[in-house]
Amino acid sequence: MALDKKLIVGNWKMNLDTHEASLYLHKLAGLVKVRRDVEVVLAPTILSLQSLSLQVERRQFKLAVQNLYWRDSGPFTGEVSATQLRGVVDYAIIGHSERRHIFHETDKDVRNKVQAALRNGIKPILCIGETASERTYGETKDVIHDQLIGGLANTTSEELSDITIAYEPVWAIGTGKNASPTDVTDAVLAIRSQVKHLYGATAAKAMRVLYGGSVTADSAGGYLSLDSVDGLLVGGASLDAYMFSEIIKKAHKGSDS
Ligand code: PGA
253: pLDDT strictly greater than 80 = no
CA 51, CA 137: separation in Å to the nearest integer?
A: 45
Give ligand 1 pocket residues (Cβ under 6 A): 11, 168, 173-174, 212-215, 233-237
pLDDT band at 256; cut points 50, 70, 90: very low
257: pLDDT strictly greater than 50 = no
205: pLDDT strictly greater than 70 = yes
From 96, 105, 130, 252, the catalytic residue: 96
pLDDT tens string 147-203: 999 999 989 998 999 999 999 999 999 999 989 999 999 999 999 999 999 999 999
Mean pLDDT of the chain: 95
At residue 111, φ and ψ (nearest 5 deg) are -70, -35
pLDDT band at 255; cut points 50, 70, 90: very low
pLDDT tens string 229-244: 999 999 999 999 999 9
Distance 165 CA to ligand 1 centre (A): 15
Distance 169 CA to ligand 1 centre (A): 10
Q: Is 57 a catalytic residue?
A: no
Q: What per-residue confidence (pLDDT) applies to 221?
A: 96
What atom in ligand 1 is closest to the CA of residue 127?
Answer: 9
The whole-number average pLDDT for the span 108-120 is 98
Distance from chain centroid for Cα 89: 13
Using the 8-state DSSP alphabet, how is residue 257 labeled? -
110: pLDDT strictly greater than 50 = yes
Three-state SS letters, 57-101: CCCCCEEEECCCECCCCCCCCCCCEHHHHECCECEEEECCHHHHH
The proportion of the chain whose per-residue pLDDT surpasses 70, expressed as a percent, equals 97
What atom in ligand 1 is closest to the CA of residue 97?
Answer: 8
pLDDT tens string 34-75: 888 999 999 999 999 999 999 999 999 999 999 999 999 999
∠ Cα 156 158 160 (to 5°):
70
Q: What per-residue confidence (pLDDT) applies to 49?
A: 98
Pocket test for ligand 1, best of 168, 177, 211 (most atoms within 8 A of CB): 168
pLDDT band at 97; cut points 50, 70, 90: very high
Q: Is 1 within 8 Å of 31 (Cβ atoms)?
A: no
From 39, 130, 168, 246, the catalytic residue: 168
Provide the 3-class DSSP secondary structure of residue 38: strand
Shortest-distance Cα residue to atom 2 of ligand 1 = 235
Q: What per-residue confidence (pLDDT) applies to 1?
A: 54
What atom in ligand 1 is closest to the CA of residue 236?
Answer: 4
Q: What per-residue confidence (pLDDT) applies to 24?
A: 98
Bridge partners, 211 (sequence order)? 167, 232
Shortest-distance Cα residue to atom 7 of ligand 1 = 235
Shortest-distance Cα residue to atom 6 of ligand 1 = 235
Q: Is 8 within 8 Å of 248 (Cβ atoms)?
A: yes
What atom in ligand 1 is closest to the CA of residue 9?
Answer: 9
The proportion of the chain whose per-residue pLDDT surpasses 90, expressed as a percent, equals 91
Q: What per-residue confidence (pLDDT) applies to 2?
A: 56
Pocket test for ligand 1, best of 9, 219, 233 (most atoms within 8 A of CB): 233
Q: Is 19 a catalytic residue?
A: no
Distance 213 CA to ligand 1 centre (A): 5
216: pLDDT strictly greater than 70 = yes
At residue 50, φ and ψ (nearest 5 deg) are -60, -50
